[in-house]
């Protein structure tokens, strides 16, 4: 089996090789996403995509960088942010960045991050950049339905293109880990280490 480009870059240039791999692919993926946003005149490039692509290319072996964690994490973040924003009546108010931070914005923000953290931890699908996604929505920065839909589209695009490039270049997502008992051949169940 051929060695992944990331591994070869690290072998040849150590941390610099890994940094070049991550930087070039981050630029490519975010440029594609930004171009789609320019063509559609919608916010397809937003802050939480930066740490998402950094995870994909700097730390592809981490569980948090897996595609499933990315889709579920940002999906939960979008839903929790919208839930808090709408439930607290902030939908028609200026965003915290335009109208200033209000007590309701603070409540919306902290509740959305708490809810996102709770759900992702409960599901065992960590993805820290989802904390930024939920704040973007719960603070009203991007909150109109068309903006939420474009955020979802951008998350799908970044994940498909990002992991598509990783796989094409020989890097695979982290394997699924489990602490469920696994029965050995002809014996009692043992717990698999994580």
Spell out a b/e string for 118-142, using b for 16 or more CB atoms within 10 Å of the CB, else e.
ebbeeeebbbbbbbbbbbbbbbbbb
Asked, for residue 64, whether it belongs to a domain, the answer is yes
Asked, for residue 180, whether it belongs to a domain, the answer is no
Provide the pLDDT for residue 74: 98
Dump pLDDT digits (tens) for 94-107.
999 999 999 999 99
Provide the pLDDT for residue 1: 60
Mean pLDDT calculated for residue range 125-139 = 98
d(CA 60, CA 137): 27
Provide the pLDDT for residue 144: 95
Confidence of residue 183 (pLDDT cuts 50, 70, 90): very low
User: By C-alpha distance, which of 148, 30, 128 is closest to 72?
Assistant: 128
Confidence of residue 152 (pLDDT cuts 50, 70, 90): very high
Asked, for residue 10, whether it belongs to a domain, the answer is yes
Q: How far is CA 163 from CA 29, 86, 160, 171, in A?
A: 10, 33, 6, 8
Asked, for residue 39, whether it belongs to a domain, the answer is yes
Strands 181-182, 190-191: parallel, antiparallel or unpaired by DSSP?
Answer: antiparallel
Provide the pLDDT for residue 175: 73
Could you give the number of structural domains in the chain? 1
Asked, for residue 187, whether it belongs to a domain, the answer is no
d(CA 100, CA 89): 16
* Domain with 102 in it: 5-171
pLDDT for residue 34 is more than 70? yes
* HEC letters along the chain: CCCCHHHHHHHHHHHHHHHHHHHHHHHHHHHHHHHHHHHHCCCCCCCCHHHHHHHHHHCCCCHHHCHHHHHHHHHHHHHHHHHHHHHCCCCCCCCHHHHCCCHHHHHHHHHHHHHHHHHHHHHCCCCCCHHHHHHHHHCCCCCCHHHHHHHHHHHHHHHHHHHHHHHHCCCCCCCCCCCCEECCCCCCCEECCC
Asked, for residue 183, whether it belongs to a domain, the answer is no
> Phi and psi of 92, rounded to 5°?
-100, 10
Asked, for residue 177, whether it belongs to a domain, the answer is no
167's CB contacts (< 8 A; 6+ apart) are: none
Asked, for residue 149, whether it belongs to a domain, the answer is yes
Strand partners, 181: 191
């Amino acid at each position: 089996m051929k060695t992944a480009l990331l591994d070869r870059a690290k072998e040849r240039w150590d941390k610099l090789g890994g940094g070049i791999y991550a930087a070039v692919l981050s630029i490519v993926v975010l440029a594609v996403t930004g171009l789609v946003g320019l063509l559609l005149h919608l916010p397809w490039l937003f802050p939480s995509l930066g740490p998402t692509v950094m995870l994909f290319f700097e730390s592809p072996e981490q569980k948090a960088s897996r595609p499933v964690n990315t889709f579920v994490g940002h999906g939960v973040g979008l839903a929790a942010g919208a839930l808090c924003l709408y439930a607290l009546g902030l939908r028609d108010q200026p965003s915290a960045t335009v109208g200033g931070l209000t007590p309701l914005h603070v409540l919306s923000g902290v509740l959305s991050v708490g809810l996102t953290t709770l759900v992702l931890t409960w599901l065992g699908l960590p993805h820290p950049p989802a904390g930024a996604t939920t704040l973007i929505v719960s603070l009203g920065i991007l909150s109109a339905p068309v903006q939420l839909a474009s955020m979802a589209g951008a998350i799908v695009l970044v994940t498909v293109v990002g992991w598509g490039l990783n796989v094409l270049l020989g890097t695979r997502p982290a394997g699924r880990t489990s602490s469920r008992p696994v029965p050995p051949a002809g014996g009692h169940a043992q717990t698999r280490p994580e």
